[in-house]
Amino acid sequence: MKSEYILTGGRVIDPYRNIDKEMDIGVKDGKIVEASAIPDAEKIDVSGKVVCPGFIDMHVHLRQPGNTAAETIATGTMAAAAGGFTAVVAMPNTSPAADTAGTIEYIKRHTAQDGVVKVHPCGCMTKGIAGEEMAGIGSLKSAGVVAVSDDGRCIQKHQLMKHIVQYAKAFELPILDHCEEDGIKDKGVMHEGVWSTLLGMQGIPSAAEELIVARNIIMARTIDWKIHLQHISCRESVERVRIAQKRGIQITAEVTPHHLSLTDERIKKFDTNYKMNPPLRSEDDRQALIQGLVDGTITVIATDHAPHTETAKLVEFDYAPFGIIGLETAIPVCLTELYHTKLLSLPDLVSKFTKGPADILGFDQSGLAAGADADITVIDTETEFTVDADKLRSKSRNTPFKGMTFKGKAAATIVDGKIVFNEL
Amino acid sequence: MPAKREVCNGSEVQAAITRVADAIISEFLSDNPREFAMIGIHRQGVPMAERIIAKLESRTGYRPQLALLDISMYRDDIGMRKSLPIIHATTIPFDMNDTAVILVDDVLSSGRTIRAALDAVTDYGRPELIRLAVLIDRGNREFPIRADYVGMKVDVSDDRKLAVEFNENNGQDGVYEIDWKKYRRGDH
Amino acid sequence: MDNFKWTRKDLLSLYDLEAEEIEHILDTAEEFKKVSQRNVKKVPALRGKTVVNFFVEPSTRTRMSFELAEQRLSADIININANSSSLKKGETLLDTARNIEALQADLIVMRHSAPGAQSLIAKNIRCGVLNAGDGAHSHPTQALLDLFTIREKKGSLKGLKVSIIGDILHSRVARSDVWGLIKLGAEVTFAGPATLVPKEFENIGVRVCHNLKDALVDADVVNLLRIQHERQKRGFFPSTNEYAKFFGLNEASRKYLKPDALVMHPGPINRDVELDSAIADGPQSVILEQVTNGLAVRMAVLFLVSGCVEK
């Protein structure tokens, strides 16, 4: 692998430094350098492409340890690379759950062995994600977690949640929360609305999310700490976050590519690849989420990449696990739904995958400045991409975008100067 | 050969019906007259039975009762075709038990329709006897079945279809030989 | 009409069917109804065919009706109930269905508590699949027998006002009836407690009301649904007494009923809760005729789909 090269002729978009112009980017020994400093290095022509700081997916399930039939750190990070991500945040609902330093060390060791992109572990808020007792948050921090979350579940005991937010604040760990009130969700399997009514399936009301969004806003305000709302899905959540942010409360939110592009009507054929939690909601909700991105209320797009085997998914809709994969379709879906529709400028879209998550997680803000790690995502905004589930790098095939055609995709992914995915 | 060729015209059809009616009269209504009923097999056996009944009534004054029989539920080729035939109404206005009945159909070929009709009829009761009247016997028999009263015999090769049309069913009285492949292609 | 061709190997929900297909089933059922009125109540239409009644959720009436329909069509029958099936051993539904297919079964009649379970099977195996109820989603043969009964009594569905009263939220009968009724031109009202009659049905042109009188006045057909006590425990309504008082068809509320209105019920009836005995057994009731017609409709559907199952 070459240790010096220059990406030439690309449109460089660096949201960390508000740069959007054609320029060359030099890479040497894993770091960004001025192109003029390495005049004899090999030139890689990226004209017509967009060169960005490495994309971060702050919501990924790598399934290792525990469910390596669905995904491993090796396959999950390969999928991340193919999707244009240089770093992912690994959710802790593995088996065992990532609630001790030992599990975090296991993940770091396997990432060092098999990881294709950077893996930032996220630790649990409660032991075993059971929502009963606080996990060893301080030890998790020492072991290297970048945040804590009980993703997949939601702590229902408000006093426990309060203690966790207070405790995590002292260790400067942001809270990533899956917002869902269990009582009103009950046994719901899809959005409660016209389609759940017509299909006779138990619904998950938007209120299940909104109730906990409201709780978390109260926590963030009273404790004055960062709570990031994972994968918000409905209009009401966006509106509450918008108001809270105006009041200076440290609340942030992410949205997934599938909630931005699909609605509950898709479920009418009972395809379990449209079953995820939070569920696909109505067109009105989808529009509100897009509006939240456009006006800056929502600063992050994250995939909630949730691999499941075909055996697990090819069952009755009621019994299928929630979740879909998303790493390899995120950029195509977002370029098609947000950029080519002119809803979001390219720099604003890139920011949702870079500066947005980095701000919340306290990551390095140098972007493509000289001296920074050479984590780079190169995008082709114009190429056509049809999702062939059998060609995905992920070990699982549970994508709702199977067979769909999008415009744009990742063209190359560079991690610490190493080109880990290359379609240039 | 064209896709559809006339084999018999309207007056030949009428003459054939008269032959069938005459044969029935000589068996049932001449020396020792006795009662009987007729069973028209959907679809073209129905107008044919009605024609025969009209003829019998004008010749003898006797008007046998008419049952309409759909044999779709008794066919032996369910699942062998792309789609099922439409089921028409079966109506039997008399008690089948101990009644002499005459089955009526337009064309006798393989004998499979009549086999199905015999099963259907016997499910409704135990007739005293069953006779079979057909307008045309075209040969090509696959089952050991013969008609008692035949309007006419027509020789056509196996791959041709014979179609009988009656004024009553949006057609014009006549018998037509159809080259099925050409007909489907729309050459007619 | 004579050019119509039935082409489906499965009957999953009335939502999928065109009005013409529904009418064709009803027309075909008229002939099958006559079979049951004969001395020999049997035809050889499904002779040599194997039908598997695969009930992953218990059922008495529907299973009995299907089984008798299959016998009257001369099919060979296997019954599999959830308790005796391998589902308990952890096999997936699709694997069980593939095993049934491997036995060269032709048709699977299936009931399941999960909406869409039959769609999963139908998409993945060669056998024809008849939905005998999937959770609260669909129960197409129940809807067809309701349509058949109404058509038989009223001549046509067009312009009729049909009110379905009770626990709409959990009712596959309501969700099936509604599509058949709308497609054949009837006007549908859903009525019952606000917790059990979702407003969302207004999106498909159903009138939703929470007042029994509004549902009864002008109705040509009233279909009462069974109210389950279990719903009371989950807080959908306070008591069966209060339910009967506000939403039951009884001596007090029958005065709103048109004299020629039909009274229907999919059974089993909670007598004197959703429907008073006097009315259930009275001249306006067609409840037992629904049962008779159910047999004819199921024979028709079995006959039609069996013609489209590939070898």
Do residues C165 and C275 both lie within one domain? yes
Q: Would you state the pLDDT for residue C74? A: 96
Q: Closest chain B residue to C30 measured between Cα atoms?
A: B89
User: Across chain C, where does the E strand assignment appear?
Assistant: 50-55, 76-81, 107-112, 128-134, 161-165, 187-191, 207-209, 221-224, 262-264
Residue B54 main-chain phi, psi, to 5 deg:
-60, -40
Q: Would you state the pLDDT for residue B75? A: 86
Q: Is B187's pLDDT higher than 50?
A: no
> What are A397's two structure tokens?
């095939």
* Averaged pLDDT, C269-287: 96
Which among B82, B83, B90 has the least Cβ separation from residue C34? B90
Per the annotation, the verdict on A304 as an active-site residue is yes
CATH number of the structural domain spanning residue B151: 3.40.50.2020
Q: Is B2's pLDDT higher than 70?
A: no
CA distance linking residue C78 with residue C310, whole number of Å: 20
Tell if the CB–CB gap between C92 and A193 is shorter than 8 Å.
Answer: no
Using 50, 70 and 90 to split pLDDT, how confident is the model at B185? low
Topology adopted by domain A55-364: TIM Barrel (3.20.20)
Using 50, 70 and 90 to split pLDDT, how confident is the model at B1? low
Q: Would you state the pLDDT for residue A77? A: 98
Tell if the CB–CB gap between C6 and B83 is shorter than 8 Å.
Answer: yes
**Does residue B162 form part of some domain?**
no
Do residues C129 and C24 both lie within one domain? yes
Tell if the CB–CB gap between A270 and C112 is shorter than 8 Å.
Answer: no
Do residues C21 and C112 both lie within one domain? yes
The answer for A 344-403 residues in CB contact with C (under 8 A) is: none
**Does residue C257 form part of some domain?**
yes
Q: Tell me how close the Cα of A198 comes to any Cα of chain C, in angstroms.
A: 7
Q: Closest chain A residue to C93 measured between Cα atoms?
A: A315
Average pLDDT by stretches of 10, chain A with 424 residues: 89 98 97 96 97 98 97 98 98 97 97 97 98 98 98 97 98 98 97 98 98 98 98 98 98 98 97 98 98 98 98 95 98 98 98 98 97 98 96 97 98 98 96
Do residues C147 and C283 both lie within one domain? yes
Is the CB of residue A382 less than 8 Å from the CB of residue A408?
yes
Q: How far is CA C37 from the centre of its chain?
A: 22
Q: Would you state the pLDDT for residue C231? A: 81
Q: Is B188's pLDDT higher than 90?
A: no
Structurally, chain B folds into a number of domains equal to 1
Q: Where are the domains of chain A?
A: 55-364
Is the CB of residue A394 less than 8 Å from the CB of residue A67?
no
Q: Which helix (H) or strand (E) holds A45?
A: strand A42-45
Neighboring chains of C (3 or more beta-carbon pairs < 8 A): A, B
Helix residue spans in A4-133 (DSSP H): 73-82, 101-114
Where b means 16+ CB within 10 Å and e means fewer, A118-149 reads bbbbbbbbbebbebeebbebebbbebebbbbb
The one-letter code for the residue type at C280 is: A
Do residues C173 and C89 both lie within one domain? no
Q: Which positions ≥6 away from B61 have C-beta within 8 Å? A: none
Q: Tell me how close the Cα of C136 comes to any Cα of chain A, in angstroms.
A: 5
**Does residue B173 form part of some domain?**
no
Which among A194, A269, A311 has the least Cβ separation from residue C119? A269
CATH number of the structural domain spanning residue C273: 3.40.50.1370
Tell if the CB–CB gap between C94 and A197 is shorter than 8 Å.
Answer: no
Q: Closest chain B residue to C73 measured between Cα atoms?
A: B73
Tell if the CB–CB gap between C4 and B72 is shorter than 8 Å.
Answer: no
Do residues C45 and C100 both lie within one domain? yes
DSSP state letters, A103-162: HHHHHHHHHHHH-SSEEEE-B-SBGGG-SSSB--HHHHHHHT-S-EE-TTS----HHHHH
**Does residue C9 form part of some domain?**
no
Evaluate whether chains C and B are touching (3 or more beta carbon pairs less than 8 Å apart): yes
Helix residue spans in B61-179 (DSSP H): 112-124
Using 50, 70 and 90 to split pLDDT, how confident is the model at B115? very high
**Does residue B86 form part of some domain?**
yes
Helix axes C140-154, C287-306, angle to 10 degrees: 120
Task: Establish, for the pair of chains A and C, how many residue pairs have beta carbons separated by less than 8 Å.
Answer: 59
Q: Would you state the pLDDT for residue B184? A: 57
Residue A249 Cα distances to A225, A227, A252, angstroms: 8, 9, 9
Each residue's pLDDT tens digit, B59-70: 999 999 999 999
Q: Which positions ≥6 away from B133 have C-beta within 8 Å? A: B20, B23, B24, B38, B52, B102, B103, B104, B105, B147, B148, B149, B150
Q: Is C157's pLDDT higher than 80?
A: yes
Q: Would you state the pLDDT for residue C88? A: 58
Q: Which positions ≥6 away from C296 have C-beta within 8 Å? A: C29, C30, C32, C33, C35, C36, C145, C148
Each residue's pLDDT tens digit, C65-123: 999 999 999 999 999 987 645 565 678 899 999 999 999 999 999 999 999 999 999 99
Q: C137: which chain A residues are within 8 Å (Cβ-Cβ)?
A: 199-201
Which among A194, A199, A316 has the least Cβ separation from residue C117? A316
Which among C2, C43, C106 has the least Cβ separation from residue B86? C2
The CA dihedral of A263, A266, A270, A276, to the nearest 10 degrees, is -30
* Interface residue B179 vs chain C (CB under 8 A): no
Q: Is C32's pLDDT higher than 60?
A: yes
**Where do we find the tokens 């059971």?**
A130
Tell if the CB–CB gap between B74 and C311 is shorter than 8 Å.
Answer: no
Q: Would you state the pLDDT for residue A384? A: 97
Do residues C223 and C273 both lie within one domain? yes
Q: Closest chain C residue to B85 measured between Cα atoms?
A: C5
* Interface residue A315 vs chain C (CB under 8 A): yes
Domain that holds residue B72: 10-157
Do residues C26 and C114 both lie within one domain? yes
DSSP state letters, A398-417: --TTTT-EEEEEEEEEEETT
Helix residue spans in chain B (DSSP H): 10-24, 45-60, 112-124, 180-185
Q: Which positions ≥6 away from C230 have C-beta within 8 Å? A: none
Q: Which positions ≥6 away from C186 have C-beta within 8 Å? A: C150, C157, C158, C159, C160, C161, C162, C221
Pick from C4, C73, C74, C303 the residue to mutate for testing the B interface (most B CBs within 10 Å).
Answer: C303
Each residue's pLDDT tens digit, C173-226: 999 999 999 999 999 999 999 999 999 999 999 999 999 999 999 999 999 999
Q: Is C269's pLDDT higher than 90?
A: yes
Tell if the CB–CB gap between C31 and B74 is shorter than 8 Å.
Answer: no
Choose the catalytic residue: A304, A359, A373, A375: A304
Which among B75, B89, B123 has the least Cβ separation from residue C40? B123
Q: B97: which chain C residues are within 8 Å (Cβ-Cβ)?
A: none
**Does residue B183 form part of some domain?**
no
CA distance linking residue A340 with residue A21, whole number of Å: 19
Q: A193: which chain C residues are within 8 Å (Cβ-Cβ)?
A: 200
Structurally, chain C folds into a number of domains equal to 2
Q: Tell me how close the Cα of A267 comes to any Cα of chain C, in angstroms.
A: 10
Q: Would you state the pLDDT for residue C2? A: 61
**Does residue B50 form part of some domain?**
yes
Domain that holds residue C270: 140-287
Do residues C116 and C174 both lie within one domain? no
Q: Would you state the pLDDT for residue C89? A: 64
CA distance linking residue B51 with residue B13, whole number of Å: 11
Q: Comparing C-alpha atoms, which of B128, B137, B101 is closest to residue B19?
A: B137
Do residues C103 and C197 both lie within one domain? no
CA distance linking residue A172 with residue A170, whole number of Å: 5
Do residues C299 and C283 both lie within one domain? no
Q: C106: which chain B residues are within 8 Å (Cβ-Cβ)?
A: 79
Is the CB of residue A197 less than 8 Å from the CB of residue C111?
no
**Does residue B177 form part of some domain?**
no
